[in-house]
Amino acid sequence: MSSLRQKVLSVFKQLHQTRKKIFDGDIATLDTMRTHINDEFKKNKEINDDQKVEELVSIAKEVEHTFRTRIVQAELNPETGNYRMNITDDTVLLDNKPFDPDAELPKRRKRTKCDEIKT
């Protein structure tokens, strides 16, 4: 098996594993994502240019990384009306600063309507 073929199969497998991890229990989204991943790979199946295949593998790796680190699933708790986020160890967490009601916010500029503009 060629090295390039191994890379394609590896990223294909990674995408599916990430899909299963992120959307665990959400059958509709799992099915939609499976179909979309498979369709994208089938669409590019006949590409023989090694450079183009490498480029597509790179894009697929970036997509997988984005999904793994930036996408979270939120589930509604019907009893409380609150959402519970399914955050994984790979999820990138940014600093969360609480809102300061006493903060000095910049004033909004008055918008001018098109018919009020003087030419």
**Would residue 94 count as lying in a domain?**
no
Q: Is residue 64 part of a domain?
A: yes
Q: Report the domain count for the chain.
A: 1
3-state DSSP assignment of residue 35? helix
Q: Is residue 46 part of a domain?
A: yes
pTM, to two decimals: 0.73
**Which range marks the domain in which residue 8 is found?**
3-86
Predicted local distance difference test score (pLDDT) of residue 119? 58
| pLDDT tens-digit profile, the chain (119 residues) | 589 999 999 999 999 999 999 998 899 999 999 999 999 999 999 999 999 999 999 999 999 999 999 998 888 999 999 998 888 889 988 887 787 888 888 888 777 777 666 65
Are residues 40 and 69 in contact, defined by beta-carbon separation less than 8 angstroms? no
How far apart CA 13 and CA 22 sit, in angstroms, is: 14
Please give the pLDDT value at position 115: 67
Beta pairing class for 73-76 and 83-86 = antiparallel
- Whether 31 is in a domain gets the answer yes
pLDDT for res 118: 63
Structural domain includes residue 113 = no
